[in-house]
Amino acid sequence: MSTTPASKDPLHGLTLEAIVTALVEHFGWAELGQRIEIKCFRIDPSVSSSLKFLRKTPWARAKVQSLYLFMRREQARASR
């Protein structure tokens, strides 16, 4: 019997849209724009405009993913 080990990547299976949506729900656009200073979070922000920019911009996507992981660690710590 073959079993596939679960991915150790905490972002495995998450879409960029799910990550951005979770960050907006947690922080709001204003704080998100302060934490990651990119125009799509500060000027007329929307999930769709953010996704367009983040898909083309690896450094910004990495910052968003890093902030998401930080948020999840803080949530886990708070729930203990």
Q: Decide: 41 and 29 in contact? Cβ < 8 Å.
A: yes
6 located within any domain: no
Domain that holds residue 54: 16-78
2 located within any domain: no
5 located within any domain: no
Using one digit for the tens of pLDDT, what is the confidence trace for 52-68? 999 999 999 999 999 99
Mean local confidence (pLDDT), 66-79: 95
Helices (H), 1-80: 16-35, 39-42, 47-56, 58-78
| CATH number of the domain bearing residue 72 | 1.10.720.30
Using one digit for the tens of pLDDT, what is the confidence trace for 34-55? 999 999 999 999 999 999 999 9
pLDDT of residue 10: 87
The answer to whether the predicted template modeling score (pTM) of the entire model surpasses 0.85 is yes
Domain count, the chain: 1
70 located within any domain: yes
